[in-house]
Amino acid sequence: MELNGKIALVTGASSGIGAATALKLAAAGAKVGLAARRVDRLDKLADRIETSGGEAIAIEMDVVDRASVEAGVAKLVQAFGGLDIVFNNAGLMPISDVEALKVDEWHRMVDVNVKGLMNSTAATLPHLIERGSGHIVNTSSIAGRKVFAGLAVYCATKHAVSAFTEGLRLEVGKKHNIRVTSIQPGAVDTELFEHISDEGYRGQMEGLRDQMSFLSGDNIADTVMFALQAPAHVNVAELFVLPTDQPW
């Protein structure tokens, strides 16, 4: 896809992978809707993009709230006149053993990682269908392919994302000329660790930084751009991206 002039929505755009991808989309000439709850960060990112000659709009959005998502998508479409690319990237990763029974954290993960992605898909897909083209990119994880102790619920949510993404591709690819991609990163230096309330697991995850060279948000953004910029007849369905020295 030629990205110049395309209109993109990025959820989870206030930091990490989302922010890095938004910057690369804007640099390639796309008009970008920056969606997240932390509007102050979005405003700064939009200013940075516009200072560099790009176009962006900050959109306060809580993906768990359907009305918030629908209003945010409507704001983007009204501002830029349509929608071509959706990057469903918002997510949480608290870690704990199941027997710790941190049920509130389980529900929050399901709400954000699964229901939030579905809310965003439901609000944006009609616009892509109307266009007769488009690309949806969903952030899954290595946890959407493998299962790890302490990550039972997170893995369940990311397996759900992987399954939903592939099912969506099968349904809308040929019928509506919409490409669908699942991005499955390994260890990435993002804010996800900040969501871990279990001190033992948080220490373990932080300790991984001494064992391998974490990927950066820019690395995953480059992966997203590769999928988006593939020739129109090519759908990069899955991209599994790991640090070279990640052993698991």
Give catalytic residue positions.
154
CA-closest candidate to residue 170, choices 235, 227, 87: 235
Q: Which two structure tokens, joined as six digits, stand for 91?
A: 């997510």
d(CA 124, CA 172): 13
Nearest to 116 by CA among 216, 195, 186, 35: 35
The DSSP 8-state label assigned to residue 193 in this structure reads G
3 state SS of 32: strand
Beta-bridged to residue 241, according to DSSP, are 185
Cross-strand pairs, 35: 11, 59
Length of the chain (residues): 248
Give the Cα separation of 97 and 111 in Å (integer).
19
